[in-house]
Amino acid sequence: MSNRIKVTAPLVILHGDEMAQVAFERILEKFVSSPLDIGLVEIDLSAEHRLLTNGQVVIDAIEALKRYGVGVKNAGMTVNRTQLGELLAKHPELDGTRLHPLATKSPNGAIRKGIGGNITREDIQFRNLQVRTPDWVGRDIEVDTMERGGIKDSFNALSTATGVIKLMFVGASGDPVELHRREVNKGDPWLLATNDLDDVKAWAHHFFQRALDEQRDAYLGLKDTVIAGYDGVMRAAIERIFDADYRRRFEALGLEYHYELIDAQAARLVATPPERALWGVPDNNTGRKLYKLVDQLKRHGIPSRKAHVSLSRMSAGGGDQYGSYNMPAEEDGILKVVVDGDEKHARRVKKGDPILLMSNDRQAIKDWVGQVFRDASRKEKEVYFGLKREYMEYDEVFSTVITEVRLELAQADTPPPSFMIMRPSSQLIKMITDPPRNALYPAQNLDGDIFSDISAALGGSLATASSIIESQSGTMLFEAPHGTAHDLYLTYLESDGKEAHFNSSALIYAVANALETLAERESNDALIDYSQRLKAALIDTVADGIITGDLKGKTTDPDAEQVVDMQGFLDAVAQRLG
């Protein structure tokens, strides 16, 4: 007779890419398939398979999650232009001009929107991690951002009717052309932003010339994978200027240029700051937040973290940039926004100017705020919302909804947790420079992406944080907030699998969380005990000083640390699990 624990409901497994996938397969074998009698609904969400299925596999993942209710997602690649070209060359049978956006874009936003889920990210409660905070006081890092355009100069409003919002364009022909349409309900916020490509190019010259004049390495941060028709257009224009006019001059002075997605780059620069740098963030909405943060860090530094940080990210409803229409203008002309037949706004654009139209769902916002308050009450946390209400009607709806939810909770005799509303820049600064509070920091989608990566990096490693996506309908998706570890994967391939370095903590924790959720739903005491013991075994392994290389020197007793590779760490967890 098998002594494996019987699990009635299946678990959805969403596979990913590179080193994270190597680790995931070993974790599933060691901690799921071997000890448990459980059905696995496995879906290949790797970048290559998304391309081969023209994005259909993303839809399959959403349907599986909605049907079965609990899943674990591994990290996957979001291909850039070079990687897409390489995959298309590998598969000449594919027509690159007929690819669905789901085939090439990150599947994360589509999955969160598809299941109506919001993200909560928290530190895993390791007992003995003591991250030595970087020395920021007096650090010679400057942030440079554009003064005009973008979200700062957007037109944003609340829909006064339930109907359709249309983005129209009138070019040389004089005939209006519909670029995009989406349904909105009365009270839903929407926003139109554009950037003048000539202003972007002028800023690029200013940015690179300033780096040369001040002899600084240049760092550029945008979100071109998710907002390809907006941030991607800006990145392409900026890098063409760098290649044509500045690359040789940088090389002659021994200066370096780095591009990275803004969330990963923010985490890297805040947690491991270079001695001297110029950090270019063209998006002025994000740029001003990071400028204020860096200014605070240079004056006051980063205190030691004395409490675990929790951040809730509003991602359901396709909110903000992640669910936007974003494309460059095909010719000079006029953009018009029409809501339920009424023209609400018009502005001129030139050929190539990036355009972004985004909206959100008021009911999804209300669901999220309710989820935030429930989570904070359950864990006795204070709540610090980040909203830009003074000039953003788009954000004002969040404030109104917070009041509504508080009133509804009070009427149900459920005291809401204490909370504050502050600007997003103040929220970010508080989370980094005032961490001892038992706090939950709710943020909108892009802010939440950037803020959570910074927080996780300051916590020691992206692999020491957990990520939970919860929908109003009860669908739960657990994931690791880290990426695919491309550099470690290259080492793994070059060594023919002999060098396998990867911190599997976040993936193990995600699996344990998912199993615990299944156990609670089917009142499976044996599985509850197993999932909790798996979490304890992970935490005890690190407490015993057995760590992967990314945590070296980050425990309370560095002299007692034993650095192991990926397999050694998994074996140590299994040994403590018994």
**Segments making up each domain of the chain, as ranges:** 5-131+459-577
What pTM was computed for the model?
A: 0.83
The CATH homologous superfamily of the domain defined by 5-131+459-577: Isopropylmalate Dehydrogenase (3.40.718.10)
3-state percent breakdown (helix, strand, coil) of the chain, nearest 5:
45, 25, 30
Rounded Cα distance, 215 and 402, in Å: 47
Tokens found for residue 12: 């959805």
State residue 1's pLDDT score: 47
Residue 319's pLDDT is: 62
Please state the length of the chain. Answer: 578
Helix (H, G, I), strand (E, B) or coil at 437: coil
Mean pLDDT, all residues of the chain: 93
d(CA 576, CA 538): 8
Higher-pLDDT residue of 123 and 400 is: 400
Q: CA 458 to CA 308: how far, in whole Å?
A: 11
Instruction: Kindly tell me the sign of the dihedral angle through the C-alpha atoms of 486, 492, 496, 497.
Output: negative
Q: Which of 56-70, 97-111, 152-166, 283-297 has the lowest mean pLDDT?
A: 97-111
User: Among 23-37, 69-83, 285-299, 386-400, which stretch is predicted with the lowest mean pLDDT?
Assistant: 386-400
How do residues 207-216 score in pLDDT, each as one tens digit?
999 999 999 9
Q: How far is Cα 266 from Cα 453, in angstroms, rounded to an integer?
A: 8
56 confidence band (pLDDT: 50, 70, 90): very high
- Average pLDDT score over residue span 19-48: 97
Q: Which candidate, 269, 263, 264, places its Cα nearest to that of 217?
A: 269
Residue 374's pLDDT band, with cuts at 50, 70 and 90, is: confident
Predicted confidence at residue 317, as pLDDT, reads 57
The band of 125, judged by pLDDT with boundaries at 50, 70 and 90, is confident
Predicted confidence (pLDDT) at residue 318 exceeds the cutoff of 60 = no
Q: Which residues pair with 169 in a beta bridge?
A: 177, 335
Hey, which residues does 313 pair with through a beta bridge? 119, 443
Q: Does the structure show a pLDDT above 60 at 272? A: yes
> In the predicted model, is pLDDT for residue 122 greater than 90?
no
pLDDT tens digits, 519-561? 999 999 999 999 999 999 999 999 999 999 999 998 999 999 9
What three-state secondary structure class fits 544?
A: coil
The answer to whether the CB of 12 falls within 8 A of the CB of 39 is no
